[in-house]
């Protein structure tokens, strides 16, 4: 399921590493941070529970028969698993039964509701926190200046930034804050 226009993410190496160690990986984070896109890049098959097609037939299928939803080439992406919380335990059980690595990738909201989940998934389902795309990942920064180094008060090289349009800078700041640029209008007169 490799997308041709997939922009590599910093988290990619961590996803690969976790898939080689754990039976399943749960990728959590805010909406629109790229969880589904990155997970699709690392999976070989998928099911999207939030797909409204057929009156949410995928979600209904998961409610009726979680085992059918788990069937597919691995790693299998189960997008928006929290729509059917028993899937967590079904994935954990399937991992226990086969003991294979990298079987499933689960994506869900930033704070999935684990109500109705019987087991933490410890040792079977690794959790990864995904954040919005960094300026370096989006190509809006060369990466020459590290925010981590700035926060640690490390000396940084003096660099020219070049021209940056105010609307592009505002859009980048809004994206970093987890908001869509349309939700961050320019101030009046600017």
The residue with greater pLDDT, 48 or 132, is: 48
**Residues 109 and 152 both lie in one domain:** no
**pLDDT digit string, tens, across residues 54-113:** 889 999 999 999 999 999 999 999 999 999 999 999 999 999 998 899 999 999 875 555
Percent of the residues in the chain that have a pLDDT greater than 90, as a whole number: 47
pLDDT at 16 over 90: yes
Q: Where are the beta strands (DSSP E) in 62-146?
A: 76-79, 104-108, 125-129
**Is residue 5 situated within a structural domain?**
no
**Residues 116 and 156 both lie in one domain:** no
**Residues 98 and 166 both lie in one domain:** no
**pLDDT band at residue 175, thresholds of 50, 70 and 90?**
low
Domain region containing 160: 135-182
**pLDDT band at residue 190, thresholds of 50, 70 and 90?**
very low
Token output for 174: 């809004």
**Is residue 28 situated within a structural domain?**
yes
**Residues 92 and 159 both lie in one domain:** no
Asked if 27 and 15 count as a contact pair (C-beta separation under 8 A), the reply is yes
Q: Supply the CATH number for residue 60's domain.
A: 3.40.50.300
What SS3 class is residue 57?
A: helix
Percent of the residues in the chain that have a pLDDT greater than 70, as a whole number: 82
**61 preceded by cis ω (within 30°)?**
no
* pLDDT computed for residue 183 by the predictor: 53
**pLDDT band at residue 146, thresholds of 50, 70 and 90?**
confident
| Alpha carbons 110 and 190: distance in angstroms, whole number | 34
Token output for 53: 């097609």
**Is residue 125 situated within a structural domain?**
yes
The per-residue pLDDT of the chain, averaged, comes to: 83
Start-to-end CA distance of the chain, whole Å, equals 43
């Amino acid at each position: 399921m490799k997308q041709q226009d997939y922009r590599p993410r910093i988290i990619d190496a961590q996803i690969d590493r976790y898939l080689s160690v754990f039976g399943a990986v749960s990728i959590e984070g805010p909406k629109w941070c790229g969880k589904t896109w990155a997970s699709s890049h690392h999976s070989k098959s998928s099911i999207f529970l939030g797909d409204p097609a057929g009156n949410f037939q995928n979600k209904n299928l998961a409610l009726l028969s979680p085992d059918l939803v788990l069937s597919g080439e691995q790693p299998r992406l189960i997008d928006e698993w929290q729509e059917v919380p028993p899937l967590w335990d079904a994935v954990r059980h399937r991992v226990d039964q086969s003991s294979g690595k990298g079987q499933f990738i689960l994506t869900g909201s930033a704070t999935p509701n684990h109500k109705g989940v019987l087991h933490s998934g410890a040792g079977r389902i690794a959790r990864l926190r995904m954040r919005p795309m960094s300026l370096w990942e989006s190509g809006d920064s060369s990466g020459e200046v590290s925010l981590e180094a700035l926060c640690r008060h490390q000396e940084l090289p003096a660099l020219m930034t070049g021209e940056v349009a105010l609307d592009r800078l505002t859009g980048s700041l809004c994206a970093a804050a987890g908001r869509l640029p349309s939700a961050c209008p320019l101030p009046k007169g600017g």
